[in-house]
Chain A
Amino acid sequence: MQSESVIVPDNAWLAEVRNSSGENASLCYQCKTCSSGCPVAFAMDLLPHQIIHMIRMGLKDAVLKSSSIWLCVSCEACTTRCPNDIDVAKIIDALRMASTKSGLKLGEKKPSVFHDSVLSSIKKTGRLYELGMIGIYTLKSGDMVSNIKSGSLLEDAKVGWKMFKNGKLKLIPKRIKGRKEIKNLFKKLKRGESA
């Protein structure tokens, strides 16, 4: 019986995560070293050691809907310091991918929009074209509106203008010769051949 107040654990999920990340969450003994050293723990809804434990409990949707998996900055402090050698950051990567595929509402949308904007820029030219990426990101994330409201747009524009004046933001993207090779790498991704 399932109702909104009953959490049904997904008992197959631990194995799924092991499969997608190559990492065994069962090795964790909850020492919390990962969470103690995590620079973004202060902004997270679930701490890294809680995520690892919830994987073992099969609490799939709660983890995939968390903001934490998108706030992780991949600084690799957790991976470096885990006494049981669990690559926590790699698990988080696998969770981000699973979260995107799940169709669930993302707990933190903007970092995901940022990554999509970066990749769409690389796909087109083979390199990251910052101005184009910032344009795509600003439109898709809704940051234009929120930044006007908060007044931070002016501050961002000042810094952006100074960077542009100083030659740090190029108007014209550099296109590499091997663009077709790069497009092919992305095509495989679309057909689902990649992990």
Chain B
Amino acid sequence: MKVSYYPGCSLHSTGLEYGESTQEVCKILGIELNELSDWNCCGASSAHCTDEVLAIELATRNLVMAEEAGLDLVIPCAACFQRFKVAEKHITEGKEPAIKTPYQGKVPIKHLLDFLVEEENLKVIKEKIKKPLNGLKAVCYYGCLITRPPKVTDAKHYENPQAMDELLSLLGVEVYPWSYKTDCCGGSLMLSRPDIVAQLSGKLIQMAEDAGVDCVATACPLCQANLDTKQAAISKNLGREVRFPTFYFTELLGLALGSGEADKWLRRHIVDPRDLLKSKGLL
């Protein structure tokens, strides 16, 4: 199977291991990722606060390339995915201000998670599991923009999404229920108001601990970065040392598919999750 692939800026930098594990997982599953050749930044959180037309045009330049390629477009970053969907709806629903573009809205835009749980892909995953992740307890954290707002993302289960729960359960992970699947990590306030991010991400980590799991699984580079890099400030706020492992769901998938590269991805984290996996005999 061939798809167009838009990694977005984070997967080449702060979310490097999300990009690497995505590439590896797709290789194992026989999915060919064709990276859009000259893609540009979607404008992320900043363009839509500054100018609506700029935000839509930045995303649309990529959509035009994807439409020329004629394949489904797969995007691992939640923010990029949502900005592309906003542009798609704006153009196809003929909203004001009108945007001049050849884009016709014919590209199926998919977040990587939703793409991988499509029936056909799940079937291949099931066949190729080499090392079930038995004994690992996790909560699934989806964040805001994979599902919200549903009139943009077309998400069916936007308050209680299921895709990652379904996928990780298939891998043998013991997935726990919790009420914070789509609560915000603090997003783009990372640099400008780190105190707010530490508060919000700290709450998520506390709630995951309370749920009784070993780790949090994420599907967004900003969520993972906030949860992983703010634990010094979170420890300060809580008055105890917090070192709570976070994963990209693709890292767990790669591990279960028997990839030999997992160690390379996992050592890039600020809170090293390898000890946890070793203690469970999974690495």
Contacts and interface: CB of A to CB of B under 8 A. Distances in A.
Q: Do A and B come from one complex?
A: yes
Interface of A: 22, 39-40, 42-43, 71, 73-77, 79-80, 87, 89, 93, 96-97, 100, 108, 110-111, 113-116, 118-119, 122, 126-128, 130, 134, 137, 141, 143, 152, 155, 158-159, 162-163, 166-170, 174, 176-178, 181-182, 185-186, 188-189, 193-195
Interface of B: 9-10, 12-16, 38-41, 43-54, 57-58, 61, 95-97, 144-145, 148-150, 158, 182-184, 186-189, 191-194, 196, 199-200, 229, 232-233, 267-268, 270
Nearest to A120: B46
Contact of B184 (A75, A110, A159, A168): A75
A127 B229 CA distance: 23
Contacts of A96: 49-50
Nearest to A134: B191
B51 A87 contact: no
B58 A159 contact: no
Given A127-B41, A169-B13, A195-B52, A76 B194 contact: no
Given A111-B189, A178-B38, A75 B12 contact: no
B14 A143 contact: no
Given A114-B188, A169-B14, A178-B38, A87 B49 contact: no
Interface centre among A73, A96, A127, A137 (most CB of B within 10 A): A73
Contact of B189 (A73, A122, A126, A128): A73
Contacts of A193: 53
Contact of B270 (A115, A128, A159): A159
Contact of A75 (B15, B61, B187, B192): B187
A86 B214 CA distance: 39
B41 A194 contact: no
A114 B41 contact: no
Given A71-B193, A114-B46, A170-B13, A159 B38 contact: no
Given A126-B41, A186-B54, A73 B97 contact: no
Given A110-B193, A119-B47, A126-B41, A194 B184 contact: no
Given A74-B48, A119-B47, A122-B58, A166 B268 contact: yes
A155 B234 CA distance: 12
B51 A189 contact: yes
A121 to B, nearest CB: 8
A122 B41 contact: yes
A167 B148 contact: no
A176 B53 contact: no
Contacts of A75: 144-145, 148, 184, 187
Contacts of B186: 39, 73
Contacts of B149: 76, 79-80, 87, 89
Interface centre among A75, A162, A178 (most CB of B within 10 A): A75
A110 B192 contact: yes
Contacts of B270: 159, 162-163
A152 to B, nearest CB: 7
Given A39-B183, A79-B149, A22 B95 contact: yes
A118 B41 CA distance: 10
B57 A185 contact: yes
A111 B193 contact: yes
Contacts of A40: 184, 189, 196, 200
Given A73-B45, A119-B46, 8 more contacts: A39-B184, A75-B148, A75-B184, A111-B193, A127-B39, A130-B14, A152-B233, A182-B61
A96 B52 CA distance: 11
B54 A170 contact: no
Given A167-B268, A185-B57, A194-B51, A176 B38 contact: yes
20 contacts: A22-B96, A74-B188, A76-B145, A97-B50, A100-B50, A111-B189, A115-B46, A115-B50, A118-B45, A119-B46, A122-B43, A122-B58, A127-B39, A128-B13, A130-B13, A162-B270, A166-B16, A185-B54, A195-B51, A195-B97
B15 to A, nearest CB: 8
A145 B136 CA distance: 43
